[in-house]
Amino acid sequence: MRSLLFVPADSERKIEKAMTCNADVVILDLEDSVALQNKPAARALAAQTLQRPRSGPQVYVRVNALDSGLTSDDVAAVLPAGPEGIIQPKTETGACVDKLAGMVGTDMPVIAIATETANAMFGLGTYTQVTANLKGIAWGAEDLSNELGAQANRTAGGSLTEPYRLARSLCLFGARAAGVEPVDTVYVDFRNQAGLEHDCMDAVRDGFTCKMAIHPAQVDTINRIFTPSAQQVAEARSIIDAFAGAGDAGVVGIDGKMYDIPHLNRSRKLLHRAKAYGVT
């Protein structure tokens, strides 16, 4: 999983487009991109989309938050249609995920968007205790900035401001501590490819494994940057080879740089990931 494309579930036209793009996951959104009066129509269209014979992207559904009073109707409409997973917005602790699992079943993969309220920021260490099938933790900056009363979440130069860098970091720590995928947030400036690339490279560098998208034009960029490059694969191989060549050494030097066990493990993980995406 590298790219997850959001589609408002009340838009037939966008759903058509999304289902034929290269996203690894399409997220049929029942939450923030759908107006209240359109929720029933969106639920029906989401169920219909899931039931069609389909190949290509996996399909997840973003349900409304637990305190909205809408979640059980969302679940009742889409669960029988067989989504591959659920996106749960506005979680505050791991217990919120287990509560949703009470409705969707403990086997259903769930990705929690876990930084959307001020209180959620204090709960990112609790996802280690989830007993349900938590698949990933994502962070979000839009609802959080609304809740904080912020005027913006990026500087004029495009960098995230401090509160959102913190949310991003805590998401990464929380996800890795829980042993699940850290999912980078959306890049809302959808005409700005250079900005998106920068955001993606930043995320990959820090350890995120995938990123959410809001526009089909973002998908190929995300897939490319979240797939290990041939150069990274070659580098990983040379590190693994150097360790093999040095017997059971705990540390090696290559071209004047030190590599020890964490580097070896990182290289193995990168090769594993590269293999999953067909890079040789």
Window 95-154: residues binding Mg ion (CB under 5 A): 143
Return the ∠ at Cα 186 (arms to 229 and 59), rounded to 5°.
85
Q: Which does 199 bind (CB under 5 to 8 A by kind): ligand COA, Mg ion, none?
A: none
Instruction: Report CA-CA distances (Å) from 121 to 93, 166, 178.
Output: 9, 9, 16
Of the pair 29, 184, the CB lying nearest ligand COA is at 29
Quote the distance between the C-alpha of residue 219 and its chain's center.
13
Of the pair 203, 214, the CB lying nearest Mg ion is at 214
Of the pair 189, 235, the CB lying nearest ligand COA is at 189
For residue 145, which of 109, 187, 115, 111 has the smallest C-alpha distance?
115
Interface with ligand COA, residue 211, by CB under 6 A:
no
For residues 64-74, one letter each, b for 16 or more C-beta atoms within 10 angstroms of the residue's C-beta and e for the rest, the string is bbbebebbebb
Interface with Mg ion, residue 32, by CB under 5 A:
yes
For residue 191, which of 211, 168, 214 has the smallest C-alpha distance?
214
Of the pair 188, 234, the CB lying nearest Mg ion is at 188
CA-based torsion, 269, 276, 140, 73: positive or negative:
negative
Q: Which x/- pattern, by CB under 6 A, does the window 113-152 give for ligand COA?
A: ----------------------------------------
User: 117 and 92 in contact (C-beta within 8 Å)?
Assistant: yes
Tell me the closest approach of the beta carbon of residue 221 to ligand COA, in angstroms: 14
Q: Which does 268 bind (CB under 5 to 8 A by kind): Mg ion, ligand COA, none?
A: none
Interface with ligand COA, residue 214, by CB under 6 A:
yes
Tell me the closest approach of the beta carbon of residue 48 to ligand COA, in angstroms: 16
Tell me the closest approach of the beta carbon of residue 272 to ligand COA, in angstroms: 30
Contacts (Cβ under 8 Å, ≥6 apart) of 230: 279
Residue type, 47: A
Interface with ligand COA, residue 8, by CB under 6 A:
yes
User: 4 and 183 in contact (C-beta within 8 Å)?
Assistant: yes
Among the listed ranges 26-34, 58-66, 172-180, 260-268, the one in contact with Mg ion (CB under 5 A) is 26-34
Total residues binding Mg ion (CB under 5 A)? 2
* Paired strand residues for 137: 112, 182
Task: Please select the residue that binds ligand COA; options are 1, 4, 7, 233, rule is CB under 6 A.
Answer: 7
Binding site for Mg ion (CB under 5 A): 32, 143
